[in-house]
């Protein structure tokens, strides 16, 4: 199935601003960890853990550092599993940078998720969050306190042993996609399906907790410019390119949100064998695409 080609990047004239985004996955517990952002860019939304790549820092080092700073989880660089890149472009403005967000998952770590002044940790059900949400998908508007990570979880000494949800992982809520950045509704279910189907293939996911890969509604798949999922089998990385339309003032904060992010325009999501990483302003970065 062809992708929609109604979108093409113009990175030659745009700077890239690099960010990281790390999603901890407890595959045996069928759980996904997200943080609720308490301040700054994305305040009031759930997201993975991450931040800006500092000058002279590699993307992977930034991913490790930000995960630790914001969640308390400690990983070594090789434990970071690179999953893809988000390229978020503001079409109305040639001067604002393309956000180049490098997405990783981690499946093993040291330490326990802790609340920081930037993010509060929340676990969600992995198997219940595999389908692209629609407005009618039940979302967890308010997260019951029992789902919050507590100091008792911390005292239990790690994810394997902790019991933050007494009813078991199946009591965990669906990821609240409508309380995330808009474009996460598109790529995150794809990524979770990709991870769970490849884990299933290896017989790796805890006790068949992952249900068979659902097919997204045809209309959703087509409008997201996504390839047929069976065609993507075996491809390792996703590229999600989104053009946002609307305001572009990065300094304009309105109720905690940057006004620039209010409209998701053309977009495409592709799975690829290799990420076309090249040089950008002297550092490894995302190359012209496609």
Interface residue list for ligand N6E (CB under 6 A): 19-21, 40-42, 47, 50-52, 66, 88, 99, 101, 181, 183-184, 261
Specify the residue, 200 or 257, whose C-beta has the smaller distance to ligand N6E: 257
CA distance 209 to 40: 36
Cβ nearer to ligand N6E, comparing 79 with 250: 250
Secondary structure, 3-state, 110-134: ECCCCCCCCEEEEEEECHHHCCCCC
Which one, 127 or 184, has the nearer CB to ligand N6E?
A: 184
To ligand N6E, the closest distance from the beta carbon of 38 in angstroms equals 10
* Nearest approach, Cβ of residue 235 and ligand N6E (Å): 21
The residue (of 48 and 216) whose beta carbon lies closer to ligand N6E is 48
Ordered DSSP codes for 174-234 = PP-GGGB-TTHHHHHHHHHHHHHHHHHHTT-SGGG-SPPPPPPPHHHHHHTTBPPHHHHTT
Considering beta carbons, is residue 258 or 289 the nearer one to ligand N6E?
A: 258
CB of 211 to ligand N6E, least distance (A): 26
Report in angstroms how near the CB of residue 145 gets to ligand N6E at its nearest.
25
Q: Tokens in use for 163? A: 């019991």
* Burial class for 94, CB neighbours closer than 10 Å (0-12, 13-18, 19+): exposed
CA 67, CA 113: separation in Å to the nearest integer?
10
**End-to-end Cα, the chain, rounded Å:** 17
Looking at the Cβ atoms of 98 and 143, the one nearer to ligand N6E is: 98
User: Minimum Å distance from CB 164 to ligand N6E?
Assistant: 23
The label of the residue with tokens 């930034």 reads: 62
We find the least distance from the C-beta atom of residue 54 to ligand N6E, in angstroms, to be 8
């Amino acid at each position: 199935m062809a992708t929609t080609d109604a979108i093409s990047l113009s990175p030659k004239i745009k700077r890239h601003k690099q960010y990281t985004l790390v999603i901890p996955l407890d595959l045996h517990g069928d759980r996904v960890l997200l943080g609720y952002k308490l301040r700054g860019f994305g305040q009031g939304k759930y997201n993975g853990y991450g931040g800006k790549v500092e000058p002279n820092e590699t993307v992977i080092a930034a991913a490790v550092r930000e995960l630790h700073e914001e969640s308390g989880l400690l990983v070594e660089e090789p434990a970071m599993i690179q999953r893809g890149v988000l390229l978020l472009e503001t079409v109305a403005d040639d001067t604002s940078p393309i956000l180049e967000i490098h997405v990783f998952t981690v499946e093993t770590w040291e330490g326990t998720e802790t609340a920081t002044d930037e993010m509060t940790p929340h676990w969600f059900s992995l198997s219940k969050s595999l389908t692209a949400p629609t407005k009618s998908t039940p979302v967890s508007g308010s997260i019951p306190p029992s789902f919050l990570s507590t100091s008792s979880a911390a005292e239990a000494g790690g994810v394997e042993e902790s019991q933050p949800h007494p009813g078991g992982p199946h009591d965990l809520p669906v990821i609240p996609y409508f309380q995330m950045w808009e474009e996460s509704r598109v790529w995150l279910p794809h990524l979770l399906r990709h991870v769970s189907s490849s884990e299933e293939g290896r017989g790796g996911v805890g006790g068949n907790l992952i249900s068979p890969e659902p097919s997204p509604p045809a209309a959703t798949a087509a409008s997201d410019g996504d390839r047929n999922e069976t065609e993507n089998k075996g491809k390792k990385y996703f590229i999600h390119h989104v053009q946002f339309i609307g305001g572009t003032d990065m300094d304009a904060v309105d109720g905690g949100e940057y006004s620039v992010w209010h409209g998701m325009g053309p977009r495409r999501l592709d799975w690829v064998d290799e990420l076309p990483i090249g040089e950008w302003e002297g550092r490894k970065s995302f190359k012209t695409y496609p």
